[in-house]
Amino acid sequence: MSKRAPRPVPRPAKPPRLGAQAARFVVVTGLSGAGKSHAVRALEDLGYFCVDNLPVTLIPAFANLVLGRRRQILRAAVVVDVREGRELARFPAVFRRLAAEYGRRIKLVFLEANDATILRRFSETRRPHPLGAARPIAVGVGHERRLLQPLRQLAAQVIDTSRLTVHDLRRVVTKAAAGTPRMAPLLVNITSFGFRSGTPPEADLVFDVRFLPNPHFVSALRPRSGKNPTVARYVLQAPGAARFLALTTRLLRFLVPQYISEGKAYLTIGIGCTGGRHRSVAIAEAMGRRLAGMRGTDVHVRHRDVANS
């Protein structure tokens, strides 16, 4: 039995270009349970170097790495919250000095939510409040609001996440921190595979092309893969192949913009036949050509089981 070839790793997308009003150093703060973790993930996807809970005393030095004359980081974000303890009281003065020095290149974004939403989120995650597990969460939330009020007053934007979905929050944070960015393209991986080796676990959508005639039973075609022009013609000229491609492409051209608007970063489309050598390969190649150049996407085609069939 031959060993399966290692799966290629998709190339990481380049960080998107940000708008002219983008902040290069973003401070994310706010209430526990208001969505700071989701906000940081959105900034990471925009190419920000993110540090959670950086000590207040280190923030000026870190900001200088981003905004100073000899900057070493293109753009960055830090999370500051009540986990700082007593040092939190020093942050407003530190931020004012940085804002006076760097102006619009630094921005503070404050996340909050109403008490009912915060309490529900803590109940769902079953995590203790950072101000102490010995006290009721409602008491901790009230105390946290008071401690963070000086930071809230410094915020360029206060975001109430009470009624926001994760995707809504992503869009709001992106706009607040990055102006009008050019978002990173949706990475579309079209993967051919053989059902006898199992469906790709990472696949979001799976299409079965075993209804097409199998080149495996044509002796002249059996040794070749679906990338061979003769095999590809055999598959693509079969009854139903052109119709399948047309309908599937039409479906994907509808779905992909919906995924992009919801903030999805990756889409894996599985095309399967029996062994993953002929039909799925030819169809995946054809589908890749049809989707190539689609606005807002970066399309890649790979063949999982060609060497194993």
Give me the pLDDT at residue 98, please. Answer: 95
Tokens of 148: 């963070």
Same domain, 145 and 75: yes
Same domain, 222 and 80: no
Same domain, 164 and 193: no
| Cα–Cα distance measured from residue 308 to residue 7, given in angstroms and rounded to the nearest whole number | 12
- Identity of the amino acid at 285: E
Same domain, 52 and 162: yes
Domain boundary among 149, 178, 207: 178
Residue 14 inside a domain? The answer is no
| Cα–Cα distance measured from residue 73 to residue 65, given in angstroms and rounded to the nearest whole number | 6
Give me the pLDDT at residue 17, please. Answer: 58
Helix (H, G, I), strand (E, B) or coil at 301: strand
Give me the pLDDT at residue 84, please. Answer: 92
CATH (domain of 119): 3.40.50.300
* DSSP per-residue letters across 251-271: HHHHHHHHHHHTT--EEEEEE
Structural domain of 213: 186-308
**In angstroms, what CA-CA distances link 201 with 2, 190, 198, 269, 282?**
21, 13, 8, 11, 21
Residue 124 inside a domain? The answer is yes
Same domain, 64 and 31: yes
Give me the pLDDT at residue 7, please. Answer: 47
Helix (H, G, I), strand (E, B) or coil at 293: coil
Residue 8 inside a domain? The answer is no
Same domain, 115 and 209: no
Q: Other CB atoms closer than 10 Å to residue 266's CB: what's the count?
A: 13
pLDDT by 10-residue block (mean), the chain, 309 residues: 45 53 88 93 90 94 90 92 92 96 92 92 82 80 93 92 84 74 75 95 94 96 96 96 97 92 83 97 97 91 86
Helix (H, G, I), strand (E, B) or coil at 276: coil
Whether the pTM exceeds 0.85: the reply is no
Residue 19 inside a domain? The answer is no
Provide the domain count of the chain.
Answer: 2
